Amino acid sequence: MSNLAVRVEDIGKEYNIFRESSRYTTLREKIVETIKSPVKTLLNPTGSEKFWALRHVDFALEHGQVLGVIGKNGAGKSTLLKILSRVVEPTEGMAEIHGRVGSLLEVGTGFHPELTGRENIFLNGAILGMKKTEIENKFDEIVAFSEIEKFIDTPVKRYSSGMYMRLAFAVSAHLEPEILVVDEVLAVGDAEFQRKCLGKMSDVASEGRTVIFVSHNMSAIQRLTQECIILDKGKMVLRARTPEAVDHYLTNDFSASGERRYTAEEITSATHPFKPIAVRVKNPAGQVTDNLLSVEPVTIEVEYQLDADITGLRIGIYLMTSRGEYIFTSFDTDEPEKFQAMSARKAGRYISRCVIPADTFNEGRFVIGINASSYMTRRYFSDERAMNFSINTTGAPGMHWVEIRHGPIRPRLDWRIEEIA
Partner 1 sequence: MTTADTLEQKKKPPVVIIKPSRGWVGLKLSDLWLYRELVYFLTWRDIKVRYKQSVLGILWAILKPFMAMVVFTIFFGNFAKIPSDGVPYPIFSYTATLPWELFAAALGVASRSMVSNSNMVSKIYFPRMIIPLASVMSSVVDFLIGFTILIGMMIFYKVTPTIAILWLPLLILLALVTALGVGFWSSALMVRYRDVGYIMPFIANLWMYLTPVVYPSSMIPEKWRLLYALNPMTGVVEGFRYALLGTTQSVSSGMILVSSLIAIIVLISGMFYFRRMEKQFADMI
**87 vs 347, which CB is nearer to partner 1?**
87
Nearer to partner 1, 119 or 296 (CB): 119
Nearer to partner 1, 50 or 338 (CB): 50
CB of 87 to partner 1, least distance (A): 5
- Supply the DSSP symbol for 404: P
Extended beta strands in 137-199, E state? 179-183
When the beta carbons of 23 and 272 are compared against partner 1, the nearer one is 23
Q: Report the distance separating Cα 378 and Cα 312, nearest Å.
A: 10
CA distance 254 to 246: 14
Beta bridge partners of 102: 180
User: Which helix (DSSP H) or strand (DSSP E) does residue 8 occupy?
Assistant: strand 4-18
For partner 1, the closer CB: 114 or 337: 114
What distance in Å separates the CA atoms of residue 104 and residue 81, rounded to the nearest whole number?
10
**Which contiguous run of DSSP H or E holds residue 198?**
helix 191-206
In order of 109, 146, 162, 163, 356, the CA distances from 151 in angstroms are 20, 11, 13, 9, 48
**Residues within the interface to partner 1 (CB under 8 A):** 15-16, 23-28, 30, 82-101, 103, 105-106, 109-110, 112, 114-115, 119, 122-123, 126-129, 131-134, 178
CB of 120 to partner 1, least distance (A): 9
Least Å from the CB of residue 22 to partner 1: 9
The whole-angstrom distance between residue 70's C-alpha and the CA centroid of its chain comes to 8
Whole-angstrom Cα Rg for the chain: 25
Q: In angstroms, what is the minimal distance from the CB of 123 to partner 1?
A: 5
Q: How far is the CB of 119 from partner 1 (least distance, A)?
A: 7
Q: Which is nearer to partner 1, 171 or 370 (CB)?
A: 171
Residue with smaller CB distance to partner 1, 24 or 415 = 24
Cβ at position 281, least distance to partner 1 in Å: 41
Q: How far is the CB of 155 from partner 1 (least distance, A)?
A: 8
Reference 199, options 125, 138, 128, 145; nearest CA is 145
Tell me the CB-side half-sphere exposure of residue 72, using CA atoms within 13 A: 16
- Residue 216's identity, in one-letter code, is H
Tell the smallest beta-carbon distance from residue 378 to partner 1 (Å).
24
Q: Closest CB to partner 1 among 109 and 257?
A: 109
313, 350 contact by CB (below 8 A): no
CA–CA dist 177, 204 (Å, integer): 10
Residue among 75, 24, 71, 79 nearest 46 (CA): 24
